[in-house]
């Protein structure tokens, strides 16, 4: 049977990226450390439940309102982009089988031409305050720079998004400037953002 990842432009990990060893992981109960894993169709309801905080709609390009059907579409895009090697979207999950979804962390817009990619993340209320976005961003950055061989990863942070700015700084990113961000479908959400970058030669 052909490997469904064979068409990928990158060697994407077949095993979950473990966050268990991240030193900044706080309050993780022993034996159930959260980890990153690929999204699958059965995640629809758990993903939909996790993605209901208003600031997720405000600060990310997620389809909003985030209905169960929108969760289905996000999972379908995640699977298609993974197979194309253009983006890698992960669930931040916990529980013995990773059945509890706390949020997502993704490597988006993987451009081999520019050797760069964007990192994005969101957490539902239940996953916040535990250092998980920082752990996920750091793990994705290390994977992109060390394993995929990209030269730079970046984050785009709204000017009033203090929580994400703190995550970016603590994950080792440096402020690289300001630019205009255009939302893929809602021009009302266009606006200035900070670019936070992390280079391979760090």
Query: Which strand (E) or helix (H) includes residue 70?
Result: helix 68-84
Sign of CA dihedral 62, 15, 198, 10: negative
Strand order across the 17-18 sheet: 17-18, 35-38, 88-94, 100-111, 116-123, 152-158, 191-199, 174-181
Contacting range for ligand COA; rule: CB under 6 A; set: 55-63, 65-73, 107-115, 174-182:
55-63
Token duo for residue 188: 């009302």
Tell me if 153 contacts ligand COA by CB under 6 A: no
State the Cα–Cα distance between residues 186 and 22, nearest whole angstrom.
36
Residue span 178-197 as binding mask against ligand COA, x where in contact by CB under 6 A, dash where not? --------------------
CB of 130 to ligand COA, least distance (A): 6
**Binding residue for ligand COA, selected from 162, 178, 179, 190, defined by CB under 6 A:** 162
**Closer Cβ to ligand COA, 108 or 163, answer by number:** 163
Chain residues in the site for ligand COA (CB under 6 A): 55-56, 59-60, 121-123, 128-134, 155, 157, 161-164, 166-167, 170
């Amino acid at each position: 049977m052909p490997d469904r990842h064979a068409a990928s432009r990158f060697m994407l990990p077949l095993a979950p990226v473990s966050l268990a060893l991240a030193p900044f992981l706080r309050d993780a109960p022993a034996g159930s450390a959260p980890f990153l894993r690929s999204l699958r169709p059965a995640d629809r309801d758990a993903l939909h439940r996790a993605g209901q905080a208003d600031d997720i709609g405000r600060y990310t390009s997620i389809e909003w309102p985030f209905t169960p059907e929108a969760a289905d579409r996000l999972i379908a895009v995640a699977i298609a982009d993974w197979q194309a090697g253009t983006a890698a979207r992960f669930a931040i999950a916990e529980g013995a089988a990773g059945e509890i979804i706390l949020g997502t962390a993704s490597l988006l817009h993987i451009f081999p031409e520019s050797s760069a990619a964007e990192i994005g993340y969101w957490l539902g209320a239940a996953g916040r305050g535990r250092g998980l976005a920082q752990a996920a961003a750091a793990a994705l950055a290390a994977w992109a720079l060390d394993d995929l061989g990209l030269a730079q990863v970046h984050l785009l942070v709204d000017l009033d998004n203090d929580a994400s700015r703190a995550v970016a700084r603590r994950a080792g990113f440096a402020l690289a400037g300001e630019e205009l961000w255009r939302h893929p479908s809602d021009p009302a959400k266009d606006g200035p953002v900070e670019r936070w970058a992390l280079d391979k030669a760090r």
